A and B are shown apart, each in its own frame.
Chain A
């Protein structure tokens, strides 16, 4: 009986309906605004007093008595009907006591408030270092009690494993099984882990497994239909290959990164496919494009990453058509091909967007600064970049299944999250996921000092000042962390510092093996660390002996990002958990954000006015404006992707999931 129920629920997935639009959208926005402005936190703060009271009372219980109470709560959650606030508070009190007995950690009020927020399907904005791991497991226990699958999404495999192990004792004490899924697990192990009540997993693994299951199921997720199909065809072979058991509760750590920034990149399950045509075309296009000159044959729009051909360019291509394979000889197609080759040349730069490692083009994630081996750009573009770098062309990946994280997380019935940096995402989180954001007041006042930004006219001046500033702080013995936007810049700065004999460690995608060691040292006295965005989320820099006395870690941002949140992540490396620290940004009006998101005339005005009395003030405003524009642009693009995704899947609904009778080889790679 129970096996049928389990089997029934196994593929239960909420249908993600399209975004509300028009008047509905407006109403939706208003509801979101109301939900966000409700005084939930104040109510929870009062409730937390009650919880603490109960957990204090529970101290006197014997282990058996506590177990009995926990198991009573578990059964009540299992049925989940008529769950009153009273019971919820008592349950949390018991879990808090259990945490104290198993982990030796009694949850802080902040963590309990966080747990309540998660339980009520909010996104909790918690400062870094407030103990989100414990917060998540408090909510995880309650979700696990329901026996419906609860996924806790972590930033990386390491954290998934660490957290699962760290919290295992608490879960077991509360009668909840816990598992974790990481890259290196085999399918059976994955299934085993997914069968646990609470699973720690990265979003990538999760979506990958989901997609593989979908391929097995041929996209039939509705349990009724699936069972009918199973009965009618009689076969059960496929079912055994399903690893997951439906999507129910998800608690997303670093919610802004998972649900906002990276949400539009689709996860693609693909195998390398032989595509001679495309390779030939990419090579031919490269030769053809080498004949074209920027601003004569084509125009470039840096902000939108669009290249358009001029008339001269079109006729030049016409003249060289014979170089191309026949498939590309029609005028539309050859122009598309050429545009792609131009894009590869103009918008994709070595050691910024990608690195060449062992004769292979490897993408660098612009937000985390990490290498992304195995990932590739869309059809043709990757080959065009490879052709440019004159490395061997890889086989284009042949897509077998794809889904964006955005749509994936909308399929959960209960979604909640946590993050330290949620600035400016509240509206989007509500619109897309119906997630209200609440800010949870910090446990200890923040000791981080953010110094006013330094604005410079040219990059040259900026780097000079960065070098000066680094040497100054280093002399006082404080550790310094300098953030750069690209690998190129990090190497450049390292070289400058070497020249004046300041030793430094460079943390970028090219040195990622040394990451753990570099991070470990970064908080030591007088240490200078230059890092790309790799030193962002989840990087915990522990201060060395006596460093706190000198003022803690000093962080310098050398350029602002297209999203303020990424800047704050870097700043968040200092002043963690009430430690002292300071941060400052040093930027110039030649930075990419300005040149891409400011109209040319305004750039000129800023340049002319820079030396005037209010010139810097004005430049500061322009900088902030450019960043706002960039954020809005990114938001729009995400929105558009989601809409297009819906349109596409709507018009392609007839194809089912689309993996009919294609080779379901085990060589699938992500």
Chain B
């Protein structure tokens, strides 16, 4: 109850003869334990709710009496709760705006017409602003629904629910059994060839979904008058208007109508799952698969999410018994700001209880953040496909989500009548909050660092390769032992080589025989035979050298590291295959990989420093006092561990070694501090190098990040 008992505008309404229009249907509803009267206009399915005190007045309105007479009568009947004149005026204009009043004398029809036009313009503008969700009404399905009403009652019954549950369970079972192929086929869901099927499946399912709402609405006695096409992100999809269910007294009925879309969609999805599981490759199979995915996942993702204003939102609002959840959630926040920060007086709280305020506030916060994220994601998605459209969407989103609120705030602070004498205080508070934020963003430097994945490399190390191909026969020194130069590390055997040596030896004998023959008989043959002999001897020497090399010796002193080798006994090693390393000293470097964008940040700094955190030991950072960027582009990683195929974060071309990257990168080499207490470093262990840069204000960091995203994604 608010507003004065007497109003100076009373004369505007006092003498009119007015009553509730006969079309108006009144329902009593409980919202959070509080009584309300819901007035319904059956012609357009609009609802207005009023308090019992207001209803006591409204129900007594009759064209036979003037408003003043009715009001005075109410005063006599309910002296302490009857609405004041100002409330009566508000109430009447609210009801008039909802077109629920009947006037004995024609009111100012010109004004009403102007007002209607204004409302139309506002609605059109609203539609244009929410251009991602445009609705075009086409057809009235009510008469059809009436004809099939008995059928509806049959289907939407307890029996129907049992069938539904059974089918869902069977479908889920089918999916679970074929889970691996589900994952496989999902990959191809967005393939260009599948898009048309995907869309057809989507249209069919949405039709079923909307029909679900409409049928359920009919099931509980509602009416459905509009059906049409909705352009959801420019994709035409069917929709139906089942809002007459809002008049249902039972909130669970209302919630069921809201959920009916998902219920039917899930049912179809389950049927599709069964079809999919029973068919082989083919059109039917892939269509069924599409239906299954859309009917379940997309349905639950969008319609099952109360943060978006789809079905679940209305279900939640019904279950919580808070109508207009979203709008009132925003009002709740504004109310709190006005009350506690701006200290406005004479406020009317939007919530009727603390619990409701809690629901409103949490919903407001969550949905706003979520919506922002969704808008961002959609914009990025569209921009990836059609760049210009993406830009357009970004501009529109920015104006709706950033510029408009700013204008609203400015208007609120400087012009609106909502602020009274606390205007300077509110302005001061907002401005100081804003300048604080600006200060934090633009002036106060925040620690700034670059994280780069990399591996530890010993400063002096020798890679040990096979010089000659062969089967690994024996590992003489286990990995991790120290070796002296010349120690035998590994022995390979190569029977082919042995065979070659033997063959060559025999050839030498043969040639020697030829030489001695020639000396006796054909002196002229001596020279070529000798030449051949010496060639064969050379070959032998070479072969023996290679056999010698089958025994791999340490080329330097140090620690022999070849952890993988023992798994490869008796396998064939090609020539120049990597076997392991001999790490000669205790001095280690960390070699890290930075992207080109990161490198551009690093260039120009002379003495960079940072920290290394090794995987598995991230709580023990190692200081790296000296960091150097090696100023040339590379395409091959120092270790496959850093690439995708090795479990790292860097995109690599899918080749054998997994070291060639898709994008050029720069190498950064970090020296560790001299004494690292209690840490043994191993050559080859990977980790993250955090390079500290001079602190920067946040806005600069964000700007650079956005710039880089744009550059990378759109080559701007």
Interface residues, chain A, with chain B CB atoms under 8 Å away: 21-22, 219-220, 222, 225, 266, 268, 275, 277-278, 301, 303-304, 306, 308, 325-330, 332-333, 336-337, 378-380, 396, 398-402, 640, 643-644, 648, 650-662
Taking a contact as CB atoms closer than 8 A, the residue among A220, A329, A398, A652 that contacts B13 in the complex is A652
At the interface, yes or no: B14 with Cβ under 8 Å from chain A?
A: yes
Cβ B96 vs Cβ A398 within 8 A: no
A222's nearest neighbour on chain B, judged by CB, is B110
Which residues in A have their C-beta under 8 angstroms from that of B411?
Answer: 22
Q: Give 1 or 0 for each of B5-27: 1 = CB within 8 Å of chain A CB.
A: 11111111111110000000000
B13 lies within 8 A of A653 (CB):
no
Candidate in A380, A651, A661 with the most chain B CB atoms within 10 angstroms: A651
- Chain B's closest residue to A336 (CB) is B4
CA distance A311 to B21 in the complex (A): 45
Contacts of B8 in A (CB 8 A): 266, 268, 378-379, 399, 402
**In the assembled complex, which residues on chain A have CB atoms less than 8 Å from the CB atom of B103?**
654
Asked if A652 and B9 make an inter-chain contact with CB atoms under 8 angstroms apart, the answer reads: yes
A403 to chain B minimum Cβ distance, whole angstroms, is 12
28 A-B residue pairings within 8 Å (CB atoms): A22-B411, A222-B110, A275-B6, A325-B79, A327-B79, A328-B5, A333-B84, A396-B6, A398-B11, A399-B11, A400-B11, A402-B11, A648-B9, A652-B9, A652-B93, A653-B108, A653-B114, A653-B115, A654-B92, A654-B101, A654-B103, A654-B111, A656-B16, A656-B107, A658-B14, A658-B16, A659-B11, A659-B15
Say whether B13 contacts A658, CB under 8 Å.
yes
* Distance from A167 Cβ to chain B, minimum over Cβ atoms (Å): 38
What is the CB-to-nearest-CB distance from B231 to chain A, in angstroms, rounded to a whole number? 29
User: What residues of A have a CB within 8 angstroms of the CB of B421 in the complex?
Assistant: 301, 303-304, 306
User: Can you name the residue of chain A whose Cβ is closest to the Cβ of B75?
Assistant: A327
A658, B4: Cβ atoms under 8 Å? Answer: no
Q: Check if B66 is an interface residue, CB within 8 A of chain A.
A: yes
CB–CB A661/B15 < 8 A: yes
Residue pair B14, A330 in contact (C-beta under 8 Å): no
Q: B181 near A: Cβ within 8 Å?
A: no
Which one, B10, B79, B93, contacts A326 given CB within 8 A?
A: B79
Given A330-B80, A330-B81, A655-B92, 18 more pairs with CB closer than 8 A: A22-B411, A306-B421, A325-B79, A327-B79, A330-B1, A332-B1, A333-B5, A379-B4, A379-B8, A399-B9, A402-B8, A402-B11, A652-B89, A654-B93, A654-B107, A655-B16, A658-B13, A662-B11
**CB < 8 Å neighbour of B110 from A225, A301, A330, A648:** A225
Closest to A647 in B: B417
Alpha-carbon distance between A653 and B93 when the two chains are bound, in angstroms: 9
Complex interface: chain A residues within 8 A of B434 (CB): none
Within 8 A of A (CB), among B107-132: 107-108, 110-112, 114-115
Distance in angstroms between the alpha carbons of A310 and B101 in the assembled complex: 41
Indicate if the CB atoms of B5 and A336 lie closer than 8 Å.
yes
A-B contact count (CB 8 A): 115
**Cα distance, A304 to B89, chains bound together (Å):** 26
B residues in contact with A326, CB < 8 Å: 79-80
A327 CA to B1 CA, complexed, in Å = 12
Residues of chain A lying within 8 A (CB to CB) of residue B107: 653-656
What are the 10 closest A-B residue pairs judged by CB atoms, nearest first? A653-B111, A658-B12, A326-B79, A379-B6, A651-B93, A662-B15, A654-B96, A660-B15, A656-B108, A304-B421
A21, A325, A333: residue with the most chain B Cβ atoms closer than 10 Å: A333
Q: Are A644 and B417 in contact (CB under 8 A)?
A: yes
Q: Say how far B186's CB is from chain A's closest CB, in angstroms.
A: 49
A329 touches B417 (CB 8 A): no
Contact across chains for B81 and A662 when beta carbons are under 8 A apart: no
| B528 at interface, CB cutoff 8 A | no
Chain A residues whose CB sits within 8 angstroms of the CB of B4 once the complex forms: 336, 379-380
Query: Which residues of B lie under 8 Å from residue A378 when comparing CB positions?
Result: 8
> Which residues of B sit under 8 angstroms from A648, Cβ to Cβ?
9
Q: Known contacts A304-B421, A332-B2, A401-B11; decide if A655 and B108 are in contact (CB<8 Å).
A: yes
Q: How far is the CA of A653 from the CA of B13 in the complex (A)?
A: 10
Give min CB distance, A173 to chain B, whole Å.
Answer: 43
- In whole angstroms, how far apart are the Cα atoms of A323 and B107 in the complex? 42
Contacts of B97 in A (CB 8 A): 651
Which residue on B lies nearest to A639, using beta carbons? B415
B283 at the interface (CB under 8 A from A): no
> Which of B16, B101, B345 interacts with A660 by CB under 8 Å?
B16
Near A by CB (< 8 A), chain B positions 59-92 give 66, 75, 79-82, 84, 89, 92
Check B420 for interface membership: any CB of A closer than 8 A.
yes
Contacts of A333 in B (CB 8 A): 1, 5, 84
In the complex, what distance in Å separates the CA atom of A400 from the CA atom of B11?
5
B607 proximal to A (CB < 8 A): no
Could you say which of B8, B10, B108 has the most chain A C-beta atoms within 10 Å of its C-beta?
B108
B420: chain A residues at CB < 8 Å are 304, 306
Residues of chain B with a CB closer than 8 A to A336's CB: 4-5
Contact across chains for B115 and A650 when beta carbons are under 8 A apart: yes
Task: Say if the beta carbon of B105 comes within 8 Å of chain A.
Answer: yes
Given contacts A659-B15, A660-B17, contact A653 B81 (CB under 8 A): no
Distance between A343 CB and nearest chain B CB, rounded to angstroms? 13
Contacts of B345 in A (CB 8 A): 308
Q: Which A-chain residue is minimally distant from B95 (CB atoms)?
A: A654
Q: How far is the CA of A456 from the CA of B111 in the complex (A)?
A: 57
Interface residues of B in 21-80 (CB under 8 A from A): 66, 75, 79-80
B695 CB → nearest A CB, Å: 38
Determine the residue in chain B with the shortest Cβ distance to A329: B80
Minimum distance in angstroms from A316 CB to a CB of chain B? 19
Q: State whether A658 touches B96 (Cβ < 8 A).
A: no
- Which has the most chain A C-beta neighbours within 10 Å: B13, B14, B112? B14
Residues of A within 8 A of B415 (CB): 21
Q: How far is the CA of A220 from the CA of B114 in the complex (A)?
A: 15
A407 to chain B, nearest CB (A): 14
Contacts of A303 in B (CB 8 A): 421
Within the assembled complex, what's the spacing in Å between the Cα atoms of A461 and B6? 46
